[in-house]
Chain A
Amino acid sequence: MKNVLQWNPPEGLTGFAVSYTVQYFIYGQKKWLEASECRKINRTYCDLSAETSDYEQQYYGKVKAIWKTNCSKWTETRRFYPYLETQIGPPAVALSTDEKSLSIVLTAPEKWKRSSEEGFVSMQEIYPTLKYTVSVYNAKSNRTWLQYETNHSLVLSWLQPDTLYCVHVESLVPGPPRQGQPSEKQCVSTLKDRTLELKIK
């Protein structure tokens, strides 16, 4: 999982040549460890994904600022538990329609990979209780409804023909609230009702 430590520069030193050093601690281990990529860096974030790749462990991070010969105290994070706290990305969403129905196919998000050589792991494997919040907006009636879904495909029937519907989906794991990350909004129109057209002729 992608885990990035971020911080704000010390007050009063914005614009000064301040550098930072980061360390991390695996809960239950013996000592703080160097974040090798984040020694005397100028940026205010450090990607600790490699160091914290075991999402079943718990971690702390800490950072200190260095300016000329001055060194700040360490600032430490609270305990971080990726398994319960990671933000889960949206599923892939595929839409298709006919006159009165909208078919939605969802593919669970993939676990973040440090390199392309890493194998594919679906978040469904890590979170068997992964669900989805499907939001559907009817452009004609200007109304939105939400639907909780555990399946990976659903069909919405009895829709209005020739109407634009917009959909976005968010992944959901029951339990402590996590920041949501909805999928890109996708819009598709139901087809015209041909039976009407035949009658009109």
Chain B
Amino acid sequence: RCPSSMDMNPVKQSFQEIKDAVQVNDTFKNVTILSNLHSVKVLSPLDTCCMTRKLLEFYVKRVFKYREELSLHISRGVSSISNSFLTLQRTVQPCKEKSLCPCSEAATNATRTINNNYDQLEVGSAAIKSLGELGVFIAWIDKNYHQETSTA
């Protein structure tokens, strides 16, 4: 598997500190952006790499840059998470360079759905909602990067 592991603990800690404040600002309960991530969990290790790379990119390029519009407390938390994501991207990058991170149709469709969900909302609302759903991404990483290592 490439990458062999993903250390999400810094992200988990930072997210824990801003989660409630972010989610309170998300007033559209009946809409989700990452909801389909649960149903995509049965993937090959290669797909997992592709999904990871694309989701890291989604957050770095489309979500974190809207932190200036948020409160100082949230903005600081987002900065910390953003730095952690850049570190995680550097973890995944060698896999892409060694062609160990190809994208199957399933993985491509799953990340396209996420981006489409994002586009359905006004950009500020979409950014807040995606931030509030970081827990879903954390849980997905937990399952996909520890499922095998613990049973191997």
A: residues with CB less than 8 A from B are: 25, 27-31, 56, 58, 60, 78-79, 81, 83-84, 124, 127-129, 174-177
A175 touches B8 (CB 8 A): yes
- Closest A residue by C-beta to B34: A28
Q: Return the CB mask of B18-38 against A: 1 if under 8 Å, else 0.
A: 001001100001111001001
In the bound complex, residues from chain A placing their C-beta under 8 Å from that of B30 are 28-31
B150 touches A176 (CB 8 A): no
What are 27 A-B pairs at a CB distance below 8 A?
A: A28-B29, A28-B35, A29-B30, A31-B30, A56-B38, A58-B135, A58-B136, A60-B29, A78-B20, A78-B23, A81-B135, A83-B135, A83-B139, A84-B139, A124-B150, A127-B142, A128-B142, A128-B143, A128-B147, A128-B149, A128-B151, A129-B146, A129-B150, A174-B9, A176-B12, A176-B13, A176-B15
B135 touches A84 (CB 8 A): yes
In the bound complex, residues from chain A placing their C-beta under 8 Å from that of B31 are 28
In the bound complex, residues from chain B placing their C-beta under 8 Å from that of A58 are 135-136
CA distance A79 to B27 in the complex (A): 11
CB distance from B120 to the nearest CB of A (A): 13
Count of B interface residues, CB-CB < 8 Å: 27
A79 touches B151 (CB 8 A): no
B132 touches A79 (CB 8 A): yes
CB distance from A151 to the nearest CB of B (A): 11
CA distance A60 to B31 in the complex (A): 14
Find B29's partner among A27, A129, A174, A176 (CB 8 Å cutoff).
A27
CA distance A5 to B142 in the complex (A): 27
Given known contacts A79-B23, A128-B151, A25 and B142 CB-to-CB distance under 8 angstroms = no
**B87 at interface (Cβ–Cβ under 8 A)?**
no
- Closest A residue by C-beta to B16: A176
CB distance from A60 to the nearest CB of B (A): 7
